Amino acid sequence: MIIDEEITLKKLEIFLAFMELGSLARVSEVLGQSAVSIHRALHTLEEGLGCPLFKRSGRHLIALETAHVFAEHARRTLDACQQGVKRVRELANVNATKLRIGTLHSLTLHCIPRIIVELKLRKPDVEVSLTMGSNQALLRDLSEGNLDAVIIGLIEPPTGGDLVSVPIFDDAIYLAVPADSPFAKLPEVDLADTLDQKFLTLKQGFVTAHSFFHAFDGSGHKPKIAMEVSDIFSLINLVGEGMGFALLPGRIASFSTRIRLVPLARKFASKQSITLLYSQRRERDPNLLALAAECRMYARRKDLVA
């Protein structure tokens, strides 16, 4: 059976409003439409059904038994449609109450907690889910729709136009050494002077591993890699124990008093751009717009402190 084009969801809403309120004037006031528009919608709905729903008594409409029967079905139809809309929006994470953010372990020391606290003040009903991992894993989850946004470090600006990017701050890369190392007292270090040292690094896929090889590629020297680990905090502790040196971002400086971060000589200077990324297809999502706004506010506050 093909439903007549005169039977629309909007007309069902108007019809149910009239059945509840019983007056064209009251329906007009509640829905913000003229009484003439309300009357026309009810009349064309009758035409679409092919049977009367009301009888006229002067200026008033009196609901017939057909109207009461149809109202039960119309209400179920609208309820089912609303549930369907809600369900698909949840599946697509459009206007969802949960925001899934991916980030790096090292950003949980300060940046991420501050952004989430401010986001919750702006959007108290939004539940934030935090996933931590490598750049590679987080970007894959973002592209597959398992995350709504990521806040990660980038060596180079993102390519392609499928992602919205919001720069937050730049983080310099330092030589991380044990606190009692002779290197700890240097104002800056030339990587050529570290070739006899053992180095620890994160596994491939992490932006800090990328920074490590980026810096040494620029130096023309090949470091002695003693160990690769998958957790930046374990890496920091290993450096503190004297297991080797590392190249680490400045944001981890407050994590341990057992290491020192020594600036790299200018010719080896490297940095990570901490950036919010999310799909351009969702650039109008209210939750993502709120997250982007808080990232920009964090960037401004950081600039003022600097």
Give the pLDDT mean for 247-265: 95
Model confidence at 218: pLDDT above 90: no
Contact 246, 201 (CB under 8 A): yes
Domain ranges of the chain: 9-91, 98-167+274-305, 170-272
Q: Which tokens sit at 36?
A: 């003439």
Give the closest residue to 264 by CA, choosing from 178, 183, 153.
Answer: 183
Give the pLDDT mean for 184-196: 93
Model confidence at 96: pLDDT above 70: no
Distance of alpha carbon 211 from alpha carbon 234, whole angstroms: 18
Q: What's the CATH fold of domain 98-167+274-305?
A: D-Maltodextrin-Binding Protein; domain 2 (3.40.190)
Q: Same topology for domains 9-91 and 98-167+274-305, yes or no?
A: no
Model confidence at 95: pLDDT above 60: no
Model confidence at 105: pLDDT above 80: yes
Q: What's the CATH fold of domain 9-91?
A: Arc Repressor Mutant, subunit A (1.10.10)
Q: pLDDT tens digits, residue range 32-67?
A: 899 999 999 999 999 999 999 999 988 889 999 999
Chain-centroid distance, C-alpha 144: 14
- Highest average pLDDT, of 112-121, 215-224, 262-271, comes from 112-121
Give the pLDDT mean for 97-102: 91
Contact 278, 142 (CB under 8 A): yes
Q: What's the CATH fold of domain 170-272?
A: D-Maltodextrin-Binding Protein; domain 2 (3.40.190)
Model confidence at 2: pLDDT above 70: yes
pLDDT reported for residue 94: 61
- 3 state SS for 152-219: EEECCCCCCCCEEEEEEEEEEEEEEEECCCHHHHCCCECHHHHCCCEEEEECCCCHHHHHHHHHHHHH
Give the pLDDT mean for 81-94: 76
Give the pLDDT mean for 284-306: 86
pLDDT reported for residue 60: 87
Distance of alpha carbon 20 from alpha carbon 18, whole angstroms: 5
Give the pLDDT mean for 289-298: 95
Q: What is the DSSP string of the chain?
A: -PPPTT--HHHHHHHHHHHHH--HHHHHHHHT--HHHHHHHHHHHHHHHTS--EEEETTEEEE-HHHHHHHHHHHHHHHHHHHHHHHHHHHTTSS-SEEEEEE-GGGGGTHHHHHHHHHHHH-TTPEEEEEE--HHHHHHHHHTTS-SEEEEEESSPPPSSSEEEEEEEEEEEEEEEETTSGGGG-SSB-GGGGTTSEEEEEPTTSHHHHHHHHHHHHHT---EEEEEES-HHHHHHHHHTTS-BEEEEGGGTTT-TTEEEEEBPGGG--EEEEEEEEEGGGTT-HHHHHHHHHHHHHHHHHHHH-
- Tell me the pLDDT of the chain averaged across its residues: 91
Q: Which tokens sit at 158?
A: 């993102």
Contact 192, 268 (CB under 8 A): no
Distance of alpha carbon 171 from alpha carbon 250, whole angstroms: 6
Distance of alpha carbon 304 from alpha carbon 306, whole angstroms: 5
Whole-model pTM: value is 0.69
